[in-house]
Structure 1
Amino acid sequence: MTKRILALAIVALMALWSGAATAQQLSLAQVSQYLNQLQTAQGGFTQINADGTLSTGTVYIKRPGRIRFEYNPPDKSLVIAQGGQLAVFDPRSNTGPEKFPLNRTPLSIILASNVDLGRARMVTGQTSDGTTTTITAQDPDNPQYGNIQMVFTANPVELRQWIVTDDTGTQTTVILNDLISGGSIPDTRFNIIAATRDWNP
């Protein structure tokens, strides 16, 4: 483990522990309610990629169905979900964004119009360390699409981190920094067609 990743791990743990007033395991109903009330949100993120490299940027969420990851320079990557599609803009590609059906990715679980973690076979794991609650969820009808492991703190309930495991087994960790809920985010931030036109890798 490099010193950089070790330092990041320490910072991430401090972020998860800060502000947790009491030791409490959140229920699936509490987490479902929190996600359903989270209509808009934005904040910084640090991403740990499958190869151990780090990326940072800003994430914008507008439920249902919309999310945007803007990466900080020199990374020119961009990821947008909108209209049932997830578009990945990779600066190493000269063929435009690679698109996937959103419902085939674990991110669709938290972007759904109605999150119900109590649904049969959706949650495959739930643990608490006294400070955070970790919930692993999948599409119960299509577990082959992978899963998302979400970390929450309580009082107030807040999403702090997630790990997406895709259909190939590849894991990507996103640590959220100062996620602020509420406020207005223009729909133009999630326009895949416009982003394709304007993107300059």
Structure 2
Amino acid sequence: MTRRIFIFAMTALLAIYAGAASAQQLSLGQLSGYLNQLQTAQGGFTQINADGTLSTGTIYIKRPGRIRFEYNPPEKSLVIGQGGQLAIFDPRSNQNPETYPLNQTPLGIILQRNVDLGRARMVTNQTSDGTTTTITAQDPDNPQYGNIQLVFTANPIELRQWIVTDDTGTQTTVILNDLVSGGGINDRKFNIVAATRDWRP
């Protein structure tokens, strides 16, 4: 009887371990596939800024190449990625938005038309705690642009969080809340020219 209990316990432990191991085995191919099928998505986000302050708002994604962060009051900032550019609208400024090449920011990695995380030197680290899989990715040809750390859950695979480290070493964390994929998003939301014309901080 004791031996039976021992064998049963060991079998149960092995099953638990196998389940955890399975959760740990999200491959780069699976994660690439998930990002490539994520054509549109929207939801809330909480941003932890480099100085420790918090911002909240709504995020819109339309791959390839388009993203929009609408920040809630009192911040009221706006960030739009479209047409290979990333535009930052600052309510404290009366000037046109600052713009940067999107492919020179780590966000450009996940907004590419075809994400291939298995590409040589793109993923520099991959870990799992049995619940989440975390990878750190960079532009393999231009690592000086910084990197993005992506956190995924499994069953189904979902992107939950990212940490962008820019070319100055500054880190910004974005935690996604109730990100819903699919559905139509009007292209005007990603129109930098229209947003510049309509911008009222």
Normalising by structure 2, report the TM-score. Answer: 0.88
Partner of 1:15: none
Partner of 1:11: none
Partner of 2:129: 129
Q: Measure how far apart 1:198 and its partner are.
A: 0.7
Partner of 2:85: 85
Partner of 2:68: 68
Q: Measure how far apart 1:79 and its partner are.
A: 0.2
Distance 1:86 1:93 in 2: 17
The code of the aligned residue for 1:195 comes to: A
The code of the aligned residue for 2:120 comes to: A
The code of the aligned residue for 1:36 comes to: N
Partner of 2:44: 44
Q: Which secondary structure state, in structure 1, belongs to the residue aligned with residue 193 of structure 2?
A: helix
Partner of 1:195: 195
- Cα displacement string for residues 149-196 of structure 1 (whole angstroms, at most 9, x for unaligned residues): 000000000000000000000000000000000000010000000101
Distance 2:136 2:177 in 1: 21
Distance 1:169 1:138 in 2: 13
Distance 1:49 1:93 in 2: 19
Q: Measure how far apart 1:38 and its partner are.
A: 0.1
**Is 1:99 matched up with 2:99?**
yes
Q: Measure how far apart 1:73 and its partner are.
A: 1.1
Q: Measure how far apart 1:130 and its partner are.
A: 0.8
Distance 1:88 1:125 in 2: 29
- Cα displacement string for residues 122-149 of structure 1 (whole angstroms, at most 9, x for unaligned residues): 0000000110000000000000000000
Distance 1:76 1:178 in 2: 21
Give the count of matched residue pairs. 180
Distance 2:186 2:200 in 1: 21
Q: Which secondary structure state, in structure 1, belongs to the residue aligned with residue 188 of structure 2?
A: helix
Question: What aligned pairs does 1:1-201 form with structure 2 within 5 A after superposition?
Answer: 23=20, 24-25=23-24, 26-201=26-201
The code of the aligned residue for 1:144 comes to: Q
| Larger radius of gyration between Structure 1 and Structure 2 | 2
Distance 2:144 2:60 in 1: 27
Q: Measure how far apart 1:59 and its partner are.
A: 0.1
Distance 1:65 1:89 in 2: 18
The code of the aligned residue for 2:108 comes to: S
Distance 1:191 1:157 in 2: 30
The two structures, once aligned, show a CA RMSD in angstroms of 0.7
Distance 1:74 1:172 in 2: 19
Normalising by structure 1, report the TM-score. Answer: 0.88
Residue ranges of structure 1 left out of the alignment (5+ in a row):
1-21
Distance 1:75 1:95 in 2: 17
The code of the aligned residue for 2:152 comes to: F
- Cα displacement string for residues 2-51 of structure 1 (whole angstroms, at most 9, x for unaligned residues): xxxxxxxxxxxxxxxxxxxx531211000000000000000000000000
Distance 1:76 1:180 in 2: 23
Give structure 1 regions of 4+ aligned residues with deviation exceeding 6 angstroms.
Answer: none
